[in-house]
Amino acid sequence: MKDARLVTGHVSTVDQAHAASSRPRVFRRLLRNPAGLASLIFLVVISLAAVFAPLIMPHDPATIDIHAVLASPDATHWLGTDGSGRDVLSRLIAGGLVSLTAAALAVGVAAAIGIPSGLIAGYYGGFFADGATWIVNLLMALPGIVVLLAVRSVLGPSLWISMAIFGILMSPAFFRLVYAAVRSARSELFVEAAMVSGLRDSAIIARHVLGAVRGPIIVQTAILASITLAIQAGLGFLGFDDSTVPSWGGVLTDAFANIYRQPQLIIWPSIIIALTSVAFALLGNALRDELGRTTTRRRGAKGQVEQTSVTRSASLTPLEPGVLLRVAGLRIGYPNSDGMAEVVRGIDLEITRGSVHGLIGESGSGKTQTAWAILGLLPSTARVFAGSIQFDDVDLLDRSAVSGVRGRRIAYIPQEPISNLDPSFTVGSQLIEPLRSVLRMSKRQAIARSLELLARVGISDPERTFHSYPHEISGGMAQRVLIAGAVASNPDLLIADEPTTALDVTVQAEVLDLLREIQQDSGLSILLVTHNLGVVADICDHVSVMKTGQIVETGPVEQIFNHPSHEYTRELFGSLIDEDDVRPTPEPSPSRSDLAVTR
């Protein structure tokens, strides 16, 4: 626990360092996002033009010239004039401030009502949540246009009042989104840990809960801003705004009234409204993506800092002859309310060349975490804070190094084969893709290699399977496809994570025979992660038994199965039904004919 606290303290220090620079980093990454940069530039230009409209407008937008009514574009009026002889370009520039401010008013009112109420209702629940939900349902049931007409009849035509009322009517969009996200985040362990640490509810909501829902809020704000611009233009058709005040909706209304006499007038306000709406949506999505990517990279950076420190402290030494992989003192943990929960607790593991090594244990013992650590596929929240993983002369805790051998010298067979094939693409296209991207084969070479592999794994009609979609093949065939993809690069190490769990007994035996045949033909090493003792007895040479993150016993299969020394191993074998041979195949190999589980 002392080590866990030290790691937690180290992570906290990294968090503080990254938090201090998160905003500049997000902005820099946003500037490198093409869609985000383009939309940001466009909105900045539009906003600056609106703010500095009096300085850049070529004419007074309110000046009426009866001699230039509906004039075509010329050197004096670049976009022509409207039905009253007013300069269209000047009215669009001046109307930008009104339209953007009106949109900001509506979105601001909606956010000011919906976000705080959603946060409080989602965090506390109870009577406030019930009352707020009732009010939200009432607002959603109200016909918006009828409400706006009623307000206009009482208060007169005012764009600002109309948009403020529209903001109130839009507030349920924020409330429902935030309420659902907060209810989900409220049950997370990090929120409970913050409560136990003594933070006030306001601090928890502002620092933890709000951070978890900021992405959806940003996207929703951008969407509502786009909608509000269109609604503001539509309100002009209905006479909700003041015709003496220039706005994009007013320019559009005048253009529509004169569409038969000067049809090009409707183009300019339509383009500016459409482009601004699209820019809001693109900027919101880009900002959401960069915020999420920064968080992921920040978490990854913490893990990288810790893994790098471990790598430097554990200098690599040449492996003994015949040893392909060595795991030494590996410790993996995840943050929880107590600081750090270890799931792998200082294990040692060696895999020799050309052998099949079984890793067995009950669910939750740390088998898959160990396999993911070897593959470099641990989640960003995982922390490797001790130990080393050495594959030949490659340090697998170095992310850049593991990416160079994964998919080439180290391959992986996951469980649940159908779920690991993309239903949108054919089997062949999914086999070809890694061959072309990783092994740099041409398309013709990749197709030929894929068909050869499908035949090698025992598929009777490789052509048909190659052109089939995953739902058109059986689970056993899907597993064979995954095996074909795994051995395509002629790897030195194959990690199979529960490769027969989702298959029936007959297909399990066929897949095991296939793995044994491939292993014997190519001489590769296999790390078999499973809790099926029969599978281990049938195919493995050595076995390691894991319990609660530790390897309690390692040795040859015959020795472990016939003479287990650890109590947990005996309990594991004792859980089998009496008189039941652990081997699934009816004809065991001669070298292991006497292998059976003894109580």
Q: Where are the domains of the chain?
A: 38-301, 323-409+489-592
For residue 54, give Cα distances in angstroms to 79, 96, 173, 245, 281.
18, 12, 36, 14, 28
**pLDDT at 10 (0 to 100):** 36
The sheet with strand 323-336 has its strands ordered as 339-352, 323-336, 383-391, 394-395
Angstrom distances, CA of residue 475 to CA of 398, 480, 531, 576: 35, 9, 20, 26
Residue 360 CA, chain-centre distance (Å), reads 31
Phi, psi of 357 (to 5 degrees): -110, 120
pLDDT at 151: 82
The closest alpha carbon to 311, from 399, 415, 238, 181, belongs to 399
pLDDT score, position 295: 43
**In the prediction, which pLDDT does 272 show?**
92
Residue 293 has a pLDDT of 54
Tell me what pLDDT residue 109 has: 95
Closest by CA position to 234, among listed 163, 156, 143 = 163
Spatial neighbors of 369 by CB under 8 A, at least 6 apart, are: 332, 343, 344, 378, 382
Sheet architecture: strand order including 525-529: 410-413, 493-497, 525-529, 356-360, 542-547, 550-556
**Which residues, 6+ apart, have CB-to-CB distance to 492 below 8 Å?**
324, 353, 392, 409, 410, 524, 525
CATH number of 38-301: 1.10.3720.10
Out of 3.40.50.300, 3.40.50.740, 3.30.2350.10, 3.30.70.1560, the CATH code matching 323-409+489-592 is: 3.40.50.300
Q: Tokens in use for 444?
A: 């013709």
Same fold, 38-301 and 323-409+489-592: no
pLDDT the model gives residue 235 = 75
**What pTM was computed for the model?**
0.50
pLDDT value for 131: 93
pLDDT at position 191 is 65
Residue 369 CB coordination number (10 Å): 22
Question: How big, in percent rounded to 5, are the helix, strand and coil portions of the chain?
Answer: 60, 10, 30
Collect all residues with Cβ–Cβ distance below 8 Å to 34 and sequence separation of at least 6.
none
pLDDT of residue 508: 76
User: Which among 226, 221, 272, 278 is positioned nearest to 249, based on CA atoms?
Assistant: 272
Distance CA 530, CA 268 (A): 66
Reduced to 3 states, what is the DSSP secondary structure of residue 333? strand
What is the phi/psi pair of residue 159, to 5°?
-65, -35
Q: Which residues contact 26 (CB under 8 A, 6 or more apart)?
A: 287, 290, 291, 294
Residue 5 is predicted with a pLDDT of 35
Mean pLDDT by 10 residues, the chain (599 residues): 37 37 64 86 92 90 87 89 90 89 92 93 88 92 84 79 90 92 74 51 76 79 87 73 78 88 90 91 80 47 38 60 90 80 89 91 86 83 86 83 80 78 78 78 89 87 90 85 85 85 73 84 88 84 90 91 88 66 47 42
Distances (CA, A) of 299 to 294, 305, 335, 380, 403: 8, 10, 12, 6, 19
